[in-house]
């Protein structure tokens, strides 16, 4: 047993050192992400990437599952290694800058560079989906950049919520993104436009497509993603309608429970559960042509 252990260490010592170095560099960053996502103490923009709570372990599981195929790949000796070295240098510069956004982005860049440096394009292709999950879970400023362009969506949500409440006999007046209920003002703010819920839905949708082995079917993927968007937008309209109702009728405890309490988390989890239902129903419909799951 001792001989086998020594041979394993001798054979993979460089990989173990590399993994240890990456862990030492990025463990504090990952702890910061998870602490902010779970306790909601991170910035509003970075909270949009809280789907990384489940996405990053899923990506790690994919990489671990592919470990035997990774080992069998030939070591890279061509031009891809130079590209990998370039990405490693970029990641190092980003990390040493100390600025939040570059440090965050250095993580997926480093992992991509490592794949190209060690195994080339074949290694990158093998770990492509895991790297995609890591990249899409890396906090950045994209939500901040998109916020100014969500006005049409905000207006649509406000108008739809007002229309629904009017059907239930409530006197609601809608002015652009503002709703007036019982002399109370409710604003559909940019961060209430459902982008976070949409990002999370699409991310979880990608995970489900991989998990069910339906990524190979283009028709399944397109139909499922369209259904995911519809579910997300509909769920957000219902949520904003409920928030308007609670605030307009003076039910502040219910408003805060759904708006910034754990009730909102339960609501989001229930919506994501609908994606599983959608996937199962679609598999029955696409069964003759979809690959075996």
The predicted-structure confidence for 268-278, as pLDDT tens digits, reads as follows 889 999 999 99
- Based on the fold, state whether residues 201 and 115 are members of the same structural domain: no
pLDDT at 293 (0 to 100): 44
- Based on the fold, state whether residues 163 and 271 are members of the same structural domain: yes
* Residue 83 within any structural domain of the chain: yes
Tally Cβ neighbours within 10 Å of residue 220. 21
pLDDT at 231 (0 to 100): 93
* 132 or 265: which leads in pLDDT: 132
* Residue 290 within any structural domain of the chain: no
| Angle made by CA atoms 101, 50, 271, in degrees to the nearest 5 | 145
Averaged over 167-193, what is the pLDDT?
81
pTM: 0.87
pLDDT at 12 (0 to 100): 58
pLDDT at 9 (0 to 100): 53
Averaged over 7-24, what is the pLDDT?
70
pLDDT at 107 (0 to 100): 95
Give the span between the Cα atoms of 64 and 184, in whole angstroms. 54
What's the domain count of the chain?
2
- Based on the fold, state whether residues 164 and 279 are members of the same structural domain: yes
For residue 1, pLDDT over 50 is answered with: no
pLDDT by residue (tens digit) across 97-146? 989 899 999 999 999 999 998 888 999 999 999 999 999 999 988 888 88
Q: How confident is the model at residue 15 (pLDDT cuts 50, 70, 90)?
A: low
Domain of 152, in residue numbers: 146-285
198 to 136, 146, 219, 221, 237: CA distances (angstroms) = 13, 13, 21, 16, 12
Domain end (from 90, 125, 140): 140
Q: Return the H-helix or E-strand segment holding 171.
A: none
- Based on the fold, state whether residues 117 and 95 are members of the same structural domain: yes
* Residue 178 within any structural domain of the chain: yes
pLDDT at 10 (0 to 100): 56
* 236 or 247: which leads in pLDDT: 236
Domain end (from 140, 161, 190): 140
pLDDT at 124 (0 to 100): 93
Domain end (from 140, 169, 201): 140
User: Which ranges of the chain would DSSP assign to H, the alpha helix?
Assistant: 2-39, 44-47, 52-65, 67-72, 79-97, 100-126, 128-136, 142-146, 151-167, 195-211, 218-248, 252-259, 262-285
pLDDT at 181 (0 to 100): 82
* 286 or 87: which leads in pLDDT: 87
Give the span between the Cα atoms of 20 and 171, in whole angstroms. 62
């Amino acid at each position: 047993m001792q001989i086998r252990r020594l041979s394993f260490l001798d054979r993979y010592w460089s990989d173990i050192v590399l993994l240890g170095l990456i862990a030492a560099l990025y463990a504090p960053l990952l702890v910061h992400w998870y602490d902010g996502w779970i306790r909601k103490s991170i910035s509003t923009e970075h909270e949009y990437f809280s789907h990384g709570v489940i996405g990053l372990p899923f990506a790690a599981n994919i990489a671990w599952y592919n470990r035997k195929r990774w080992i069998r790949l030939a070591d890279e000796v061509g031009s891809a290694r130079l590209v990998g070295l370039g990405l490693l240098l970029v990641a190092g510069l980003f990390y040493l800058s100390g600025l939040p956004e570059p440090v965050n982005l250095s993580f997926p860049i480093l992992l991509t560079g490592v794949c190209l440096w060690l195994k080339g394009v074949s290694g990158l292709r093998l770990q492509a989906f895991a790297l995609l999950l890591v990249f899409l879970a890396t906090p950045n400023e994209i939500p901040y950049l998109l916020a100014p362009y969500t006005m049409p969506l905000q207006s649509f949500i406000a108008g739809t919520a007002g229309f629904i409440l009017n059907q239930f006999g409530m006197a609601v007046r809608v002015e652009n993104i503002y709703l007036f209920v019982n002399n109370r003002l409710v604003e559909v703010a940019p961060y209430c436009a459902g982008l976070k819920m949409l990002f999370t839905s699409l991310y979880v949708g990608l995970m489900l497509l991989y998990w069910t082995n339906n990524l190979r079917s283009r028709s399944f993927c397109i139909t499922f993603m369209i259904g995911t968007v519809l579910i997300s937008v509909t769920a957000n309209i219902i949520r904003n309608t409920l928030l308007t109702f609670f605030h307009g009728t003076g039910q502040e405890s219910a408003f805060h429970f759904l708006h910034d309490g754990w009730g909102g988390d339960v609501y989001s989890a229930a919506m994501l559960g609908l994606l599983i239902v959608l996937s199962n129903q679609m598999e029955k419909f696409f069964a003759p042509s979809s690959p075996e799951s």
